[in-house]
Amino acid sequence: MTENMIAQLKKLQAIKESLHHAHLPKQKALELLQVLDHIEAENKSLSYQLTSVRVITSNLLVESAKAGLPGALTGLGAEHIDHVATPLHEGTLILQQLVHELVSQLQQQIEHRPPPSS
In a domain, 104, yes or no: yes
pLDDT tens figures, 26-64: 888 888 888 888 888 888 988 898 888 888 888 887 887
Ranges of H-type helices in 25-70: 26-66
Q: Which of 14, 2, 10, 79 is nearest to 46 (CA)?
A: 2
Does the pTM surpass 0.75? The reply is no
Tell me the residue type at 111. E
In a domain, 99, yes or no: yes
In a domain, 109, yes or no: yes
**φ, ψ of residue 16 in degrees (nearest 5):** -60, -45
In a domain, 79, yes or no: yes
User: By residue range, what is the domain housing residue 45?
Assistant: 34-118
User: What is the rounded distance in angstroms from the CA atom of residue 94 to the CA atom of residue 90?
Assistant: 6
Tell me the residue type at 39. I
pLDDT at 118 over 60: no
What is the domain count for the chain? 1
